[in-house]
Structure 1
């Protein structure tokens, strides 16, 4: 069964779009991980600065 050129074009576009989306998701996930660790470190610093008395041992 022969496929129409528009269907092939749509399939190629979907494949390239999927590749772009995968790369973007990978990049944004890496960025999110960096932002999350940055925020976590900043929160730990703030908590330690605000209340140094109740810092748990081993943290």
Structure 2
């Protein structure tokens, strides 16, 4: 396995774990602060937009830079 293959595999696996862990942190924060349904929706919306922006950036880089 080359270094590039290892990097690609580890980025995918570890970033997925980090995103799931951040989701748990946001859920726990909303629960402890008694944010309610709308507050939890906003918290997860912002987390989702951040993750979506990261994924969108990677897609753009893969297709626009040969």
Which band: TM-score by shorter chain?
0.5 to 0.7
* Residues matched between the structures, number: 39
RMSD: 2.1
In structure 2, list runs of 5 or more residues that go unmatched. 40-66
Runs of 5+ consecutive residues of structure 1 not aligned to the other structure = 1-12, 49-54
Q: Which has the higher contact order (CA 8 A, sep 6+)?
A: 2
TM-score by length of 1: 0.56
- SS at the partner of 2:38? coil
Higher Rg: 1
Greater fraction of residues in helix? 2
